[in-house]
Amino acid sequence: MSVLFIFIDGLGLGPDDREINPLAAASTRWFRLAGSLPAPGADGRVVVATDATLGVPGLPQSATGQTALLTGKNAPFMAGRHINGYCTRRLAELLEAHSLFGRLRAAGRPAAFANAYTPRFFQDKVRLRFPSVTTVAQRKAGMALRTLEDLARGEALYQEFTNALLRARGYDVPLVSPALAGARLAALAARHDFTMFEFFQTDLCGHAQDFPRALRLLEDLDGFLTGALDGTDLARDLVVVGSDHGNLEDLSRKTHTANPVPTMVWGAAASSFANRIRTIADLAPAILDYLGVVPAGALANPPEND
Ligand SMILES: [Zn+2]
């Protein structure tokens, strides 16, 4: 029994408008998500429109959204606002106390963050000083960041999983088809109880308002996801796709949106899992429950006035 969580940054549910919403125009199996959603189970998945604002005014942002996804806590409320960009000290405290990775590791359950980091990352003083939420979550859980050596062994993927971007930056790595990248991710997930992969080209593309690129990204993601699903024993395991906030679904604007985000779930337990999801803070507790990891409850909860 395992969970593969594919996190897609900046993917929301918007209007069925082919002028502004690539998800209304994409000829894909899984990402034509605009207007009405597929009926639960009709195509092997359950899709839930999931609140990403968490009741906090302003547009949802990545750092607080990802912290909510990873901890199950209302991170923007606890931090006082939606926070973009790098992980603040307050968010790092939340991750240290509550992240899925830390909780699973404490329970002796193998967990993996599938993304590979480049040598350039480890030399970049700014990036090291201002890390992302997912990087901090791994570090706080005592996990080693995966590298291009892991990638070469098929034990990690680059965030842009075809490696085209890595090659453009001068790294000598083979191009990988989306389907093969998905299959590699599924193979990694089969060896862990929980595996997360982070994809954020969608968010960058939303900010750039690049419609043709958005369609290509959705097609690549579609093949990637199909590869991952084909490589997963869905009678036993769960595949979950989620996001932190909207962006790509409305290319008429440069910013994030307050739209709900899709949570997509595949597997025998998809319905019961999906029934628990209302907001992006519901994913982490649902994943821990599915894996039979008992909530730490009061032990790990910060004081009320925190
Ligand atoms: Zn963004």
Interatomic CA distance for residues 278 and 259, integer angstroms: 13
In a domain, 159, yes or no: yes
Interatomic CA distance for residues 104 and 87, integer angstroms: 21
CB atoms within 10 A of CB 265: 25
Interatomic CA distance for residues 168 and 96, integer angstroms: 35
Distance, CA 244 to ligand 1 centroid (Å)? 9
Distance, CA 266 to ligand 1 centroid (Å)? 27
pLDDT higher than threshold 50 for residue 301: no
Whether this model's pTM surpasses 0.85: yes
In a domain, 278, yes or no: yes
pLDDT higher than threshold 70 for residue 299: no
> Is residue 295 very low, low, confident or very high in pLDDT (cuts 50, 70, 90)?
low
In a domain, 71, yes or no: yes
Domain that holds residue 61: 3-295
Q: Which two tokens stand for residue 21?
A: 């919403």
In a domain, 199, yes or no: yes
End-to-end CA, the chain = 35
Mean pLDDT in residue range 21-42:
94
- Domain tally for the chain? 1
In a domain, 227, yes or no: yes
In a domain, 186, yes or no: yes
Contact present, 262 and 59 (Cβ < 8 Å):
no
In a domain, 46, yes or no: yes
Distance, CA 8 to ligand 1 centroid (Å)? 11
Contact present, 195 and 7 (Cβ < 8 Å):
no
> Is residue 51 very low, low, confident or very high in pLDDT (cuts 50, 70, 90)?
very high
Give the domain CATH number at 42: 3.40.720.10
Distance, CA 133 to ligand 1 centroid (Å)? 13
Distance, CA 26 to ligand 1 centroid (Å)? 21
H or E, element range at 150:
helix 148-152
Contacts of 36 (CB under 8 A, 6+ apart): 16
Which amino acid appears at position 189 of this protein? A
In a domain, 218, yes or no: yes
Distance, CA 294 to ligand 1 centroid (Å)? 33
Distance, CA 203 to ligand 1 centroid (Å)? 5
